[in-house]
């Protein structure tokens, strides 16, 4: 449900940057902690883009992993061995193990955003 307003938001941004040209592809970055479900975005996009210059555009999702940083030594933790786990499980495991420096003072520093990277547009008459 909450994917609808964010879908409308990136659709608006894409159309603004397309400046009257047809949008063929939209490249998005979805953090694993962002609680955005790509399949749901697709459904809303199909509905919201109807009769706009982005109708029929392909959506490309790059999934960004959860990233955590040690607040004491500044290291970014290697969480790759748990990459198939759910984000909250990754966090739990990281907090139990801590940083290699021994600190458990960790912060989530990545995988929380939903970004619009770029769009592909067809050449327009005056561009």
Per CB under 8 A, residues contacting other proteins are: 1-2, 5-6, 9-10, 12-14, 17-18, 24-25, 28, 33-35, 71, 87-88, 91-92, 95, 105, 107-108, 112-123, 127
Residue 71 Cβ vs other proteins, minimum distance, rounded to whole Å = 8
Residue whose CB is less far from other proteins, 1 or 84: 1
Asked whether the beta carbons of 1 and 81 are under 8 A apart, the reply is no
Would you report the helix, strand and coil content of the chain in percent, each value rounded to 5? 30, 25, 40
- Least distance from other proteins to the Cβ atom of residue 93, Å: 12
Q: ∠ CA(46), CA(49), CA(50), 5° rounding?
A: 85
């Amino acid at each position: 449900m909450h994917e609808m307003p964010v879908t409308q938001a990136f659709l608006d941004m894409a159309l603004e940057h397309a400046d009257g040209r047809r949008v063929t592809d939209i490249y998005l970055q979805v953090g694993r902690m962002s609680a955005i479900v790509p399949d749901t975005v697709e459904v809303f996009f199909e509905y919201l883009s109807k009769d706009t210059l982005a109708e029929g555009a392909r959506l490309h999702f790059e999934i960004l992993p959860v990233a955590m940083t040690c607040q004491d030594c500044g290291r970014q933790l290697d969480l790759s061995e748990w990459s198939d786990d759910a984000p909250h499980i990754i966090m739990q495991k990281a907090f139990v193990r801590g940083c290699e420096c021994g600190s458990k003072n960790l912060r989530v520093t990545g995988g929380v955003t939903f970004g619009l990277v770029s769009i592909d547009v067809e050449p327009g008459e005056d561009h």
